[in-house]
Structure 1
Amino acid sequence: MANTIDWNDFDSHQQPGAAEALDAAGVETGTDGWVEAMPLTVVRKVDVDARLVAEGLGLPPQDVPAMVADRRIATLCERGTGEDAGLYRFTFWFGHKRFRLTTDAAGHPLPGR
């Protein structure tokens, strides 16, 4: 689908400098009941509607999938644990803008989270 981001981001967490860049940006991960990367033994695919990301970052929806693919939009996917098990928290950065979205395992956004 043109307006869907095909999500399986374990590799993006392993890119050289990713941890340092998140630290420098003041991004806290893994400290509030969320695991910042899915284990290699777990393969999951969560589709996120690119229109939501576009709206959150103020970008044209048709540009978002390519911008995520070539990493002009930086991404982080966290898997919920404990009472948040089965949920995913996605964070997208473009320039100085940040958009965070929590979804169920099917990629449906959860309001107010």
Structure 2
Amino acid sequence: MVEEALTALGKVVLWCLSVSGDDARLEREIGRIAAALDEVLRAPSGLAALEALLRYLVATHERLNVQTIGRILEKAVGPRAQEAIVTELDEIERRGRAQGRAQGRVQGRA
């Protein structure tokens, strides 16, 4: 009953929270949210929602690198979602490298 009342984004968010830090469960249960994730991406603000979700997954699955999380998600979703996931994860990784370089310069000057 509760699941019927949730939006697609709500379902994906709850699932992400439930697998937080459990890498094996993330990989094993990704198929459960595939349809909801595709629906989120069709929404007008779907890419922004996807970016927030991916940032959360990257932050809570520290033992997995960005590429591994991308491969796990890509297996479960359609081609449109795959392209969006790759694009967003590339951007997250690019920003992380830029932030790391900036912090290194600050520490180097200190």
TM-score category (smaller protein) = under 0.3
Relative to its length, the structure with more helix (as a share) is 2
Relative to its length, the structure with more strand (as a share) is 1
- What TM-score comes out, normalization by structure 1 length? 0.26
- What TM-score comes out, normalization by structure 2 length? 0.27
